[in-house]
């Protein structure tokens, strides 16, 4: 077995939660079925007890900016028409999949003009909640669960934010989101 994966975490950070869900989804796709033959095979593997290393661990200070959650209203603009933009998006997505070591991971993106705060300030590790609508003036259609921002890439007049694309079945309807927002006492003046 060449790929080992082990993790443990205790957090209330939504971006970490989102990344953990993506890791679990990756494990589900790569998992082997455990049957009697598998168990017989692994029983024959010699196991040596490992003792923990005898050294003090220093706490590594992360960046000074706290992670942010962005609540963003978006609408579908379709695929870019020009070839250069399409190639740039494909390259960015390929790089991110290689970085995450999962070529099948479904990634999404959203473009924002550089004048908007999210385009200027959103960074890898932040979390985004998208409020989707089909048209500019249409009613809100669905609201995504927390999705981790994987990268923010400048391109001409926009910044493109890449994120893990969760299944549409995990999205909330607008009414479900309003009830949740009111229940948790979020400031939701337009709800």
Sole residue written with tokens 């970085």:
99
Q: What angle do CA 142, 138, 15 make, to 5 degrees?
A: 30
| Predicted confidence (pLDDT) per residue in 8-62, tens digit | 777 777 777 777 777 777 777 777 778 888 788 888 888 777 766 655 545 444 4
Rounded Cα distance, 124 and 152, in Å: 7
In 32-157, DSSP assigns E strands to 69-75, 107-113, 127-133, 142-143, 147-155
pTM for the structure as a whole = 0.57
Ranges assigned E (strand) in the chain: 69-75, 107-113, 127-133, 142-143, 147-155, 158-164, 172-173
- How far apart, in whole angstroms, are the C-alpha atoms of residue 143 and residue 131? 4
pLDDT for 135-155, tens place per residue? 666 667 788 877 888 888 887
């Amino acid at each position: 077995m060449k790929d080992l994966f082990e993790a443990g975490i205790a957090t209330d950070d939504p971006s970490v939660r989102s990344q953990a869900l993506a890791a679990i989804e990756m494990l589900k796709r790569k998992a082997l079925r455990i049957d009697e033959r598998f168990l017989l095979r692994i029983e024959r593997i010699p196991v040596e007890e490992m003792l923990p290393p005898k050294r003090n661990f220093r706490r590594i200070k992360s960046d000074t900016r706290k992670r942010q959650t962005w609540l963003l209203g978006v609408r579908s603009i379709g695929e870019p028409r020009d070839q250069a933009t399409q190639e740039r998006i494909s390259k960015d997505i390929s790089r991110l999949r290689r970085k995450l070591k999962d070529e099948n991971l479904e990634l999404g993106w959203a473009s924002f003009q550089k004048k908007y705060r999210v385009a200027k300030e959103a960074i890898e590790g932040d979390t985004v909640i998208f409020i989707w609508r089909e048209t500019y003036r249409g009613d809100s259609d669905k609201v995504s669960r927390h999705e981790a921002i994987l990268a923010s890439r400048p391109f001409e007049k926009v910044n493109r934010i890449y994120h893990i694309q969760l299944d549409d079945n995990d999205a909330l309807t607008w009414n479900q989101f309003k009830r949740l927002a009111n229940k948790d006492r979020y400031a939701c003046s337009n709800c």
